[in-house]
Chains A and B, each alone.
Chain A
């Protein structure tokens, strides 16, 4: 177990190096932020002076080497625009993003499990077909569109909910609904497929033959055995949500990491984008690790030596 964890940590360092290098190279090759940083009144000499001062006139690998050297001292760089340590900017916004993600996952799971189970146990009926068609809509509808429609309906027409920002419960409803739309649909399909697989197995027939209550058969015996793929996909979805709830965060002016990433890419704020990539990679590593450990918990056949 310890060796497993140490291995994972070593992998993490490798992942950081590769990711930061790729991000760095892509950013520097795209261009530099000087045009946006300096006011238009600055002349061409002031443009060049700032480029030199920030080291942006050097080739990408020279800039990257400098980045790695300071990173080893624990300094991941300072934002060109905020003049603050890039990692701090990202971590400041992490709680807001996590809040959105955790609620989305909770809501999606609570909605998807009963509906997925229902669709599986009622396989082939109009109810099953209804759930499937509904989930197809959920998977296909673009996030941006869902967000705007929800705002038009619940904010402008009904006036029930606030349009944007972070605060109490009411601020969470629309962004969580927007993000949950796709996840609910995906999870329903996942659980339905898994359940159909399991429900045809011998031990389910045995359980029923023993005269157990149907609910016990379905939830204890069948559902538990469909959870492995569900946990895997949930983990991936969770990582994806933390990192890439960008569109939703922008629409609802949610003060999370996605919005920071968006503006930092738009303005080529390299240090922030790189710090973001590293923080995100770290989150993915942690989530994957958690998922792996959960496997062992759910399925006693899995062991990490």
Chain B
């Protein structure tokens, strides 16, 4: 053997030594179930986080009084029934015979403790859901009354959003530090182990009050990179993955032995226009996306209608989103309370759009900057590019301004925009209306995502009704009227709803939940 050959052998031997012996190891895991989600939980304290991946992990261990079913309908969990006694008082009957994992009984005391902690803990991020609850009154061991400071028809829907029940004695003993690390709840799974950023291990709760889950031991692995999640699924390391990247969907379905489950989600992607300032110019006095001194075309409803007609949502969904979205008829998806089946989006009609622009005094169109995120929504930048092309066809000259979300959202909140594309999602219908189209006003608290500052007093009155009217029929009427009004006055231009996806091994059945949680208790083996 020559000397250089010896060098090569040394070098390759080091490389091979690392791989040697590994081929015999089998990494495939069957049951118990392993689920790959997009990120780790930050804490096991249910009141100190409001991030959906964290809730998704916690929901295995802890339970709310009521929950959203996979289709966003409110269903009983630890409460068996509820009714409004008067406009300010809700009565909940609690499920009897339920115990926490540490043996503590679940009762009215736990409800009082948990709701008060969500409302009063200095760092609670759930205040929005319970801020209207003035008092939690214990009637008997299994009956509580929630007294609100104003009529709150959405109270039950708010509680369905992650106000989980904690065992009061345990919570007082271990304190915040303990709740953050070792969660105790009433849920279908008990907490076993948590290795930060690597895995969360759970085992089925043998004394669970509800149907026993089929997956008995659960490992939840945070894998942030989409391509790696898909690889882990295809290599048989995990059984279920959250969110399959659009380009990978065909790869998973073609591979055999794996399926992609899909469902229309509640996240709306929409366009909004500055309808507040009169002229273009430097922010904040002028509208920053329009030429200096130019009149703001968006103040004319015909221009807003023209844009609505000029956008071909079907093409965006098919060409840019790979079919993984559904065109939006209005700001709410069909499965949510308050959807108006009579309101449809206007047809795609560029010549009508041109006519409307001419009528509004812009026969040759105008120039504007469109602000979009580049890292927040699925294919956000690409959709922005498609919009530029579509608006060009009717004479509107759009400059695309893509920004990372870190820069985008603070600017939006400061209204430093003339024309923008964003997304919004809650499972509380009235809250969507208030955030997206309510006049920005500290008196009402409305307008959190109303970056174009659309303001219509008539619509605000309807939103007030949505939020306080206890009569369900009158309330629904307000929703329906609001959808019609917004369709005519074009306060926002709804584009589409993103689709939710899960990758699963063949033989696993599970619903895709609209709240985006991936719950092992939902898994059924065939």
Contact = CB atoms under 8 A, between A and B. Distances in A.
Interface of A: 30-32, 35-48, 53, 79, 81-84, 92-93, 107, 110-111, 114-115, 117-118, 121-122, 127, 148, 151-152, 155-156, 159-166, 169-170, 172-173, 176-177, 214-215, 250-253, 255-256, 259-260, 262-263, 265-266, 268
B406 A114 contact: no
A115 B222 CA distance: 38
Given A41-B128, A43-B448, A251-B228, A31 B426 contact: no
A263 B39 contact: yes
A83 B48 contact: yes
Given A151-B231, A160-B22, A173-B22, A40 B435 contact: yes
B51 A81 contact: yes
A253 B49 contact: no
Given A37-B125, A159-B28, A266-B406, 15 more contacts: A31-B407, A32-B410, A35-B410, A42-B448, A93-B197, A107-B18, A114-B11, A121-B4, A148-B227, A155-B232, A162-B237, A166-B198, A169-B18, A250-B225, A253-B198
Contacts of A263: 39, 224
Main secondary structure of the interface of A (DSSP, over half): helix
Contacts of B425: 40
Nearest to B41: A82
B197 A260 contact: yes
A127 to B, nearest CB: 6
Interface stretch (B291-299, B329-337, B438-446): B438-446
Contacts of B405: 266
A37 B448 contact: no
Given A35-B409, A40-B426, A252-B228, A118 B448 contact: no
B397 interface: no
A37 B406 contact: no
Contacts of A214: 3
B10 interface: yes
Interface residues of B, number: 75
B50 A118 contact: no
B192 to A, nearest CB: 17
Interface centre among A32, A93, A252, A253 (most CB of B within 10 A): A253
A171 to B, nearest CB: 10
Contacts of B445: 43-46
Contacts of A30: 406-407, 410
Interface centre among A84, A163, A251, A253 (most CB of B within 10 A): A163
B410 to A, nearest CB: 3
Nearest to B408: A31
A155 B231 contact: yes
Contacts of A251: 225, 227-228
B197 A160 contact: no
A81 B231 contact: no
A26 B445 CA distance: 30
B406 A169 contact: no
A170 B22 contact: yes
Given A111-B14, A156-B234, A166-B198, A40 B448 contact: yes
A262 B434 CA distance: 33
B16 to A, nearest CB: 11
Contact of A82 (B3, B43, B426, B444): B43
A215 B413 CA distance: 69
A164 B125 CA distance: 32
25 contacts: A30-B407, A31-B406, A37-B125, A38-B50, A38-B125, A40-B424, A43-B434, A44-B440, A44-B441, A79-B42, A81-B42, A81-B49, A82-B43, A114-B7, A118-B7, A151-B228, A156-B234, A160-B23, A162-B232, A162-B237, A164-B225, A169-B22, A251-B228, A259-B224, A268-B406
Nearest to B39: A263
A268 B199 CA distance: 24
A253 B223 contact: yes
A41 B426 contact: yes
Interface string B171-185: 000001000100000
Contacts of B167: none
A163 B228 contact: yes
Contacts of A172: 18
A122 B6 CA distance: 13
Contact of A111 (B15, B198, B224, B237): B15
A83 B426 contact: no
A290 to B, nearest CB: 24
Contacts of A265: 406
Interface centre among A83, A111, A169 (most CB of B within 10 A): A83
Nearest to B431: A41
Contacts of A48: 442
Contacts of B195: 255
Interface centre among B8, B18, B234 (most CB of A within 10 A): B18
Interface string B416-450: 00000000111010010011000011101111110
Contacts of B19: 160-161, 173
Contacts of A46: 127-128, 131, 445
Given A163-B235, A253-B223, A44 B7 contact: no
B428 A41 contact: yes
A106 B197 CA distance: 25
B223 A44 contact: no
Contacts of B222: 253
Interface string B21-62: 011010110000000000100110100111100000000000
A259 B196 CA distance: 11
Contacts of B125: 37-39
Contacts of B22: 160-161, 169-170, 173
A92 B49 CA distance: 20
Nearest to A27: B406
B161 interface: yes
A82 B54 CA distance: 11
B235 A31 contact: no
B221 A165 contact: yes
